[in-house]
Amino acid sequence: MTKITLLGAGSWGTALSGLLFRNGHSVAVWSLFPEEIEMLQFHREHKDKLPGIHLPPDVVFTTDIKEALEGTSVVVFVVPSQKVRETARSVRPFLDRNTIVAICSKGLEENTGLRLSEIIEQELGNVRVVALTGPSHAEEVALDMPTTVVAASKDKEAAEFVQDVFMSSRFRVYTSSDIIGAELGAAFKNIIALCSGICDGLGYGDNCKAALMTRGLTEIARLGKAMGAAAETFSGLTGMGDLIVTCTSTHSRNWKTGYLIGQGIPLEKALQEIKMVVEGVTAAKAAYSLSLKVGISMPIVEQAYKILFDGIPPALAVETLMERKKKNESEDAGW
């Protein structure tokens, strides 16, 4: 039996705790919020984020970071992307240097544009880092529905260890050496999902959404390749796969936020209504900044940024994209 520690007790952390317990592991879940831990301890259910999903009595829920990390083989980050650095600093005094760090959070750090594995390496030094990512809604994993993801790492043995820990008859895990591409695909697809929701909110139909997803993936791959990712990664689970599920599912908080914006609701009010972290908002800011820094054309990301932060009307943003100068489809494709 392997001990696994999950840092974060939201919908994803809660869903993964059940999966890992079903796989035969000893599972501890840590949260900074006492009221959340008390709810999970007493009800064995996250009534706010995964109502109706009952958790095994042997899963440990705690606010004590030292207790959570004692004897663990894999520590799994499932906190929001903007809390990864702070959480890593909390972990540092208690983390065994041989412990593998798996990142299940998705996003980029807002002020630096850093990938989450880069933050972990800055804060925790020379640790073995794996990004576990792909098309995986927490709601479906919690219900033990078939799901497939990727364990990406520069460390082949660490990726294979995480693969073994998480893999089951309902949760298939592939490995990859392209952690850059896996993390960038996971972060940037949330921007396109926001845009997909906006298009649905505007009532623009399937043609528009198909074009948005296809050209959005081209932009993601273009920037990813410029940042050192392998182009083929973006045609796989952490690119195309994650993009499809996030753009088309009503489970997606990014899609939901975009849908509200498309219906004319201001960003701040939309975020208040969603009541969860919407990673696509900070990702849009980071991606737009990175595109300017490296000189990569990302017209969809640019218009998303202008909708979110400059307040331009969504319909005008779509019109601007449609009226750009004529191009060959393969021009500047980037992959």
Q: What is the pLDDT of residues 244-276, one digit of tens each?
A: 999 998 888 999 999 999 999 999 999 999 888
Quick check: is 328 in a domain?
no
* DSSP-H helix ranges across the chain: 11-22, 34-43, 65-69, 84-91, 116-124, 138-142, 156-166, 179-202, 205-226, 242-248, 253-262, 267-274, 279-294, 299-305, 314-322
Task: Write the single-letter amino acid at 33.
Answer: F
Question: What pLDDT does 335 receive?
Answer: 46
d(C-alpha 236, C-alpha 233), whole Å: 5
d(C-alpha 251, C-alpha 241), whole Å: 15
Question: Are 19 and 166 spatial neighbours (Cβ–Cβ below 8 Å)?
Answer: yes
Question: What pLDDT does 111 receive?
Answer: 84
Phi, psi angle pair for 219, to nearest 5°: -65, -45
Does 185 have pLDDT greater than 90? Answer: yes
Q: Give the number of domains in the chain.
A: 2
Residue % of the chain over a pLDDT of 70: 99
Quick check: is 331 in a domain?
no
Question: Are 143 and 121 spatial neighbours (Cβ–Cβ below 8 Å)?
Answer: no
Please give the residue range of the domain that contains residue 132.
Answer: 3-177
Mean pLDDT of the chain: 94
Catalytic residues: 189
Shared domain check, 158 and 59:
yes
Question: Are 77 and 252 spatial neighbours (Cβ–Cβ below 8 Å)?
Answer: no
Q: How large is the average pLDDT for residues 184-206?
A: 95
Shared domain check, 295 and 263:
yes
* DSSP-H helix ranges across 203-278: 205-226, 242-248, 253-262, 267-274
Pick from 64, 124, 113, 131: nearest CA to 88: 124
Lowest mean pLDDT among 58-62, 94-98, 114-118: 94-98
Q: Grade residue 97 by pLDDT with cuts at 50, 70 and 90.
A: confident
Does 223 have pLDDT greater than 80? Answer: yes
Note the pLDDT tens digit of each residue in 7-36.
Answer: 999 999 999 999 999 999 999 999 999 999
Note the pLDDT tens digit of each residue in 296-312.
Answer: 999 999 999 999 999 99
Question: What pLDDT does 113 receive?
Answer: 87
Quick check: is 102 in a domain?
yes
Shared domain check, 273 and 210:
yes
Q: What is the DSSP letter of 115?
A: B
CATH number at 76 reads 3.40.50.720
d(C-alpha 153, C-alpha 160), whole Å: 9
Does 238 have pLDDT greater than 60? Answer: yes
